[in-house]
Structure formats: C-alpha cells, structure tokens
Structure 1
Amino acid sequence: MEPIDFDTLDYPVGNSVKECHSQYGLDFQNGHFYLPDYCPFGDFSSFENAVSILEQYAQLTPSFYLFGALPEIPNTIENKGVLLCRQMILTSKIQYPIIENIVKLEAAHLEDLLGLVRLVYPEYFKPQTAAMGNYYGIYRQNQLVAVTGERMQMNHFIEVSAVITHPEHIGKGYAKQLVTHTANAIFDQHKIPFLHVADQNVGAIHVYESLGFSTRKKINIWHLVKK
C-alpha cells in the first residue's frame, strides 16, 4: 500500500488540483487555483511570480480566497482580512446512529441544494461546486433542510464541506448524521476525511470532536478582492 503523506494537506488546493481535480483547476506552476465557477480558492507552494499570478486570477473573479501564507499582493487587489481555521482529520469510521433518510443529491436536486446554500452559506459555494464530489441531504415535507458534501480531493484525502442546516431545523441532529454518512462514505472510497472550520466556531468544533475529528493544524484563509 502506498504510504500516506499527511503533509499534502498543507497545500490542500494545490494538491487537489494536481492530483484529483485537474479538470477543475488552473496550474501556474507554483500557484494553484480552482476555476472560480467551481471554487474560488488558491494557494502557493512558493511566492515566485505571485503578484503576476494573482493579477491573472483576479481577471477571472473579483473575489477569492487564499489558503496558507499570504504573498505580496498587487496594488490592484485588496486584502479584506483573514479567517483562522482549524484543519481537522478523522482516522476511523464514525459510530453514530443514522435515523434519518439520507438522499444522495443528483442533478434533479441541484436547485434545492443551491437554494439552501444561498440562504445559509453563500460565500464559498459556487454554481459548479456540487460537481466536485458527492453531496447528501435530508428532506422534510419535500423541503431540503440539511446537506453535507465533498469538496477538495487528493489521492488520499477528501474534504467534508458544506455542512449546512436550514435555520428552522437546527438542533435536530441532522448535521451529525450527514457528517457521519459523508465521512464514512469517504472511508469506503479508501480515503481519509478532512475539513476546515473557523477557529472561533466552537460549537461546530465541539460537534466534530464528538464524532472523532481532531485538529491537525491551524491554517489562514485570506479573502482577496479585486479593486
């Protein structure tokens, strides 16, 4: 079995674009980005030509996010601030009861998914994000009330993402069940689940820790906007 290099998680965007998501990405040699209709994310393995690379990417989208260290940015781009996140990983399947009917979301569910995202989580989810992996949901009376899915993907890792519950349905255990289902499905693909969560989101961190996730490292996510 090929040994697992956990250091690839230090550059989650670049290694996803180089390994499993090349069709969704842009490779500037040392700067790596997703096509913005899929995911407006990037990171740098080194800062050579970073100013030029950022200028080129900003021609494609007026607002995007950089993971990790921040290079020098051109004067045409504004740094809107940084979000400190925990990168958390899971080492074994979750033993948590799933009592709801969890549906794998297909093309017919896309408008329901995008509607829920627009309501709760509009910043990071783009029109083609759902094409990056599997998404799962819980319906109540024909309304999609909670979702979780997969985003960045590497040879050995898949990111759990879009853990979203409709505000009127919080506190019913939907998120725990969906994260359990999604993470265990990632293990079934012989990969390791990981996720990113804001460091100040102590409630979500507690939920993830209760399911077995542990913090691997803290990582900065910078919001850059074209002036």
Structure 2
Amino acid sequence: MEHVLELKNISHSYHNTEGETPALKELSFFLKKGEFISIVGPSGCGKSTLLSLIAGLLIPESGTILINGKQLKESTTNIGYMLQRDHLFEWRTIYNNVILGLEIQHMLTARTRRKAHQLLEQYGLESFANARPSELSGGMRQRAALIRTLVLEPDLLLLDEPFSALDYQTRLTVGDDIGQIIKKEQKTAILVTHDLSEAISPGDRVIVLSERPATVQQTIPLSFSLEEDTPLHRRNAPEFKTYFNLIWKELNRNE
C-alpha cells in the first residue's frame, strides 16, 4: 500500500543572531491512507515545527517528505490544517465561515455549496448556519472549524492541539465528536497534543518524540476490544491505562 505521507530523515534548525537551534534530527515515519496517528513529546521538542514542514510552510534542511509518493513541492494533494484557535470571523455567518476556504481557492460551486450545507446538517450545525461565531459554544465553533477544513476535501488533516483552548469537559465532548467525524469521513490525520489521554483516544498509533532535536523515540500501535470504538469509550477501556502508562514512561525515561 502506498503511503499518504512519508518522512525520511527530516532535520531542521532555526537560525537567529545568537546562533542555531536544532529542532528535528533525522526524523522518519509514515502514514497509511485512513490512518489516524497522534504525536506527543516533551514541550518545545518541535511538534508544531513538524506539522509546518508537512504543510509546506517550512522547508526542511535535509531529508525528504513524500505525499502520495511525490515530493511535497510537486504534490497536488490537498492538506487541511486545523490550528489551536478556530479563527472564525465574527463578521461572517457560520455558513460563510465554512465556505471561506472555498472562496479563497476559487472552488465555490453549486456542488461545494451543497457539500457545505450537507456537512453542517450532518454534524448538527445547520440550524446555526446564519448565526455569528459569538452565538456558538466553544465546542460548536471547533466543529464549524473542522467542517470548514473538511469541505475542501483534504487527503491529509493536520491537527495542531485543536482542543487546547477549551475547558476540560468540552474537550472531552469535542474530542469525541471530531474523532468520530474524521473516522466517518475516512480521513488520514495527524494530531499533535500535549495531552496523553487525548493522544490515545482517537489514534491508531502514537508516535513519541524525543527531546529537541526531536527524533522518533517510540511508535506505539493502539488496539481496543470495544464493540463501539469511540474516543470517549476508549477512556474507560481496560487497555487505556496500560497505553497511558507506557507512553508516560517513554516520555520520562531519561529523567
């Protein structure tokens, strides 16, 4: 099976007047179609830098990034990027926020408009299509931000701590919602998070990064014996604690 994403020996450093700060060192991993992986690591180890490299916002100093078998700069694969904040514009309705990316990319057609309405209805926001962002809860706003990303039909989703601005109870609900939506839409996704429970709940694998300069320290495949395998149900599964402790030990093995 061809990998949607493949990173081979990626290294990157930041440069300023005070010198060089290595962020990533010979980092390699792959992502299969429809797979959801979570990436965890010590604070400041370069997790967000890694997503910026995959999105093409930064260029690695060495190594290769392949998207669907092609060099990143040659790839036409659509990549969706969901950030920590929802970045919904108050002067636009929820529907007009959802179609903003379509407008920018000149993809707004009758078909994509129908797709936007379909996603809003499917995920419980159709009745808020004409509302302003301030009229929605934090969780509903994040759902709208995800729909704005999904309507562009990305082959790869990058999620950079998308729940970090929410309170704990809302994080649980929204994490469950968004995890299920991504699975239902059969999207390939990478989640970067500091929260180990959040990493385990939706993922097929958890990649543990080392301290900076980050490399892959360990890859942990996840498997749960659940009739209804959802992010929220995983938190109560017997395997959950085992995975949590395993990842915790990996993160702290050098201390």
Same fold by TM-score, threshold 0.5 exceeded? no
Q: Which has the higher helix share?
A: 2
Of the two, which has the highest radius of gyration?
A: 2
Q: Could you state the TM-score of these two structures normalised by the residue count of structure 1?
A: 0.32
Structure number having the greater strand percentage: 1
TM-score, normalised to structure 2's length?
A: 0.29
